[in-house]
Amino acid sequence: MTESDESLNQLFRALADATRRDILARSLTETPSVSSLAEGYAMSFAAVQKHVAVLERAGLVQKHPHDREQLVSTDWSRLRRAGELLDQLEVVWRQRMDQLDDVVKDD
């Protein structure tokens, strides 16, 4: 099954923001609550909730209820997918650089 362009756009839009990347990084090593995440940023709780929601829509994190809090955990398969896509782009980039080297050498 091929991923839709919109799904890929959501994934990379979510990763394009430094705060969301930081939230994702924090959820890699722990399972923080949304409120504990909010304590680490100079923004409102609601703003952090919105960042988490973007990551959740992109499939990069999941929220799980725990008592009165929502815990945030990384969806590893989705994160691996982002890495695979970047690896594919790197292969294309390296091939193009090799082709450019060949053109320069021929001159």
Q: What is the CATH number of the domain that holds 39?
A: 1.10.10.10
For residue 36, name the pLDDT band (cuts at 50, 70, 90).
very high
Domain hosting residue 36, numbered range? 5-75
Does some domain include residue 93? no
**SS3 label, residue 66:** strand
For residue 25, name the pLDDT band (cuts at 50, 70, 90).
very high
Does some domain include residue 18? yes
Does some domain include residue 87? no
Does some domain include residue 103? no
The helix (H) or strand (E) run that includes residue 60 is none
* Total tally of structural domains belonging to the chain: 1
Does some domain include residue 37? yes
Does some domain include residue 26? yes
Instruction: Give the whole-angstrom CA distance, residue 50 versus residue 89.
Output: 29
